[in-house]
Amino acid sequence: MTAYWIAHVTVLDAEKYKGYTDVAPQAFAKFGAVFLARGGVYEALEGQAFERHVVIQFKDRETALACYHSPEYQAAKAKRDGHCVAQITIVEGLAG
């Protein structure tokens, strides 16, 4: 069943965060990720407002989790740690 990463991010240091955006695409490509939303105009209606919102599709939950825990993504994550506030959730899509 399809699964999605839903990420909300506020960048604290754009220059240092660039290290993440330079490296992370390699992990996403390896796991067949498809970006459905990345940034863009948004309106926060409830809860904490983040400045970036990302939705990434994976073929299934196992692949989404494997991507997150992969050495490639963890190396990218290490480059963003401390330079942003992020909330990332993996959720399964609806059946059929």
Query: In angstroms, rounded to a whole number, what is the distance separating the alpha carbons of residues 39 and 51?
Result: 8
Task: Single out the residue of 93, 41, 95 nearest to residue 64, CA to CA.
Answer: 93
pLDDT category at 95 given cuts 50, 70, 90 is confident
Distance CA 45, CA 36 (A): 20
Give kind and range of the element (H or E) at residue 29.
Answer: helix 14-30
CATH of the domain at 71: 3.30.70.100
What is the mean pLDDT of the segment spanning 14-42?
Answer: 95
For residue 39, name the pLDDT band (cuts at 50, 70, 90).
confident
User: Where does the pLDDT of residue 76 fall: very low under 50, low under 70, confident under 90, or very high at 90 and above?
Assistant: very high
User: What residues make up the domain containing 52?
Assistant: 3-92
Residue type, 12: L
- The pTM for the full model equals 0.92
55 pLDDT higher than 90: yes
